[in-house]
Amino acid sequence: MKLSIVIPVYNEGEGVHAACDGIRLAILSALPDCVLEMIFVDDGSRDDSFEHLQALAARHPDVRVIKLLTNVGAHMAIRAGMDVATGDYACFTACDLQDPPSAIPAMLAKCVGNVQVVWAVRESRAEGVLTKAFANIYHALAHAVVSRNLPPGGSSMMLVGAKALRALKANPERNLTIDGFFATTGFRMDTLAVERQERTRGTSKWTLGKKIKLIIDVFTAYSYVPIRAMSAVGVVLALLGLLYAAVIALRYVFLGVSVPGWTSLMVVILLIGGVQITMLGVLGEYVWRGLDEARRRPRYIVDESIGFDAGNDGAKDQANV
């Protein structure tokens, strides 16, 4: 059995050595007969991460390295690694090891029969109260609106079988989120509860901008709810407008009361104008993603790759698909 582990890297520096050793020890100690393939994807790091990855590849023959030309985000970096994975099973996990690699053998044990996707579901998060609150709100909304298959508490480590891996490789979508894709494909799934550890080195690379983009990608790529919500808000506002107009007309006809109007008129105009602009923004997000897919620009561009033979230099070949 061959197992591919994909690890996205962004400004992790020498931390990649600890990640490599921790993942290797956790898997091979539990599965000594496993053939391991570790694929590190340097997501346009600006520090010396790639130099450390070169050293890892020189020391370990089962380490592969892909260096992307620019930062494309964790999900697309994972996609780049999955595209060249050759294992019977593939798993992605973060370089910071907050999701314990010791859970991977247990996840592999669950990926049997028709089960093609195993989520590492967070039982707890060693993070600040505000961060946990926002994360819980996002995951609860995604679970309710996008797919019931998404874990309510979220997951940042996942193991997939051969069929699921082939389906991912065949999908040409640019604005893809890995969890959203697998949650909506229909593959049979299972979960494994894990306790997310506190980060021991470095800082989180998930900036506010990246989090906002992830939220937009998930809700626009895998759910029609934003569009339906716009229609519902439009209908409600139209009915309220008609009702208010009827009240004004009846007061004028039967009571002879004329409405002064300026303040109420400006409030209504500003309210409706704000709602319309918001709706146009949501439509723009859908239109932009449609345009982005239609142009078929490269999803990512590989700058360098290490550890891939000439027949499987898919790190170069698949970059421009």
192-220 confidence digits (pLDDT tens): 988 877 766 656 666 666 667 777 777 77
With a CB cutoff of 8 Å and minimum separation 6, the contacts of 217 are 75, 175, 176, 177, 180
Closest CA to 35 of 8, 7, 61: 61
Mean pLDDT of 177-194: 86
Long-range interactions of 54-57: CB distance < 8 A, separation 24+: 54/306, 55/17, 56/16, 56/17, 56/20, 57/306, 57/307
DSSP string, 211-265: HHHHHHHHHHHH-SHHHHHHHHHHHHHHHHHHHHHHHHHHIIIII-PPP--HHHH
Q: In whole numbers, what is the pLDDT of the chain averaged over residues? A: 81
- Residue 312 has what pLDDT? 46
Percent of the chain residues past pLDDT 90, beyond the cut: 34
Range with lowest mean pLDDT among 33-37, 99-103, 190-194, 249-253: 249-253
Q: What is the pLDDT of residue 108?
A: 93
pLDDT at 7 over 90: yes
- Tens-digit pLDDT profile for residues 114-129: 999 999 887 765 566 6
pLDDT band, very low/low/confident/very high, at 72 (cuts 50, 70, 90): confident
pLDDT above 70 as % of the chain? 81
- With bands split at pLDDT 50, 70 and 90, how would you rate the model's confidence at 174? confident
Opening angle at CA 59, ends 302 and 39, nearest 5: 35
Residue 106 has pLDDT above 90, yes or no: yes
Q: 3-state DSSP call for residue 87?
A: coil
* pLDDT over 70 at 282, yes or no: yes
- pTM (predicted TM-score): 0.74
Host H or E run for residue 190: strand 188-196
Q: Which residue has the higher pLDDT, 8 or 178?
A: 8
Amino acid at 45: S
Tell me the pLDDT band of 258, cut-offs 50, 70 and 90. low
2-204+297-320: CATH superfamily:
Spore Coat Polysaccharide Biosynthesis Protein SpsA; Chain A (3.90.550.10)
